[in-house]
Amino acid sequence: MKKTLLLLSFITTLSFAHEGVELGPNGGRILEFSKDETMHGELTVKGDKFHIAVLDKNMKPVTINEQTLTAVTGDRAAPQKLTVEKDAKGFVLPVVKAGEWLILQYKNTTEAKAITARLEYNTANCEECSNAEWLCKCKPETEKK
């Protein structure tokens, strides 16, 4: 009986879990591109492309010069490297499949140490805010209490 209740509790927690992520000025998901929160990436989707705007600590756009970004997805045993292109606002890369992880490595300069950001591209809709889970504005259940 205790095992059944524990399992039921675990399943309920998973089914009602929310992302509770920080959203940027364009409504995209904020990813940390620094250890001290002075550089961010705002991930948005337009068509079949991810667009990543680089933002400073005040969430203002940063001019793209020396910055680099690499991206991989897929199975850990056989990761697939994605083609990343620069544009005036940041970086553009193909959208990954729903449920896959996107692993990004950002460098502010060619000599800088890479900062890794990870995102599970969960496209299921949140029942509370109706956004895709990867853009869910709801606070996680543990923060609500």
pLDDT single digits (tens) 6-50: 333 443 333 344 446 899 999 999 999 999 999 999 999 999 999
Contacts of 56 (CB under 8 A, 6+ apart): 38, 39, 40, 62
Predicted TM-score of the model (pTM): 0.80
DSSP annotation of 138 reads S
Q: Which CATH class is domain 22-144?
A: mainly beta
Written as six digits, the tokens of 142 are: 């543990």
The pLDDT, as a whole number, for residue 129 is 87
Q: Provide mean pLDDT across the span 109-118.
A: 94
The pLDDT, as a whole number, for residue 48 is 95
Q: Compute the distance between CA of residue 15 and CA of residue 94 in angstroms, rounded to an integer.
A: 29
* Sign of the torsion formed by the C-alpha atoms of 98, 49, 83 and 135: negative
pLDDT single digits (tens) 116-125: 999 999 999 9
Cβ(105)–Cβ(114) below 8 Å: yes
Instruction: Say which residue, 102 or 6, is predicted with more confidence.
Output: 102
Q: Compute the distance between CA of residue 80 and CA of residue 26 in angstroms, rounded to an integer.
A: 28
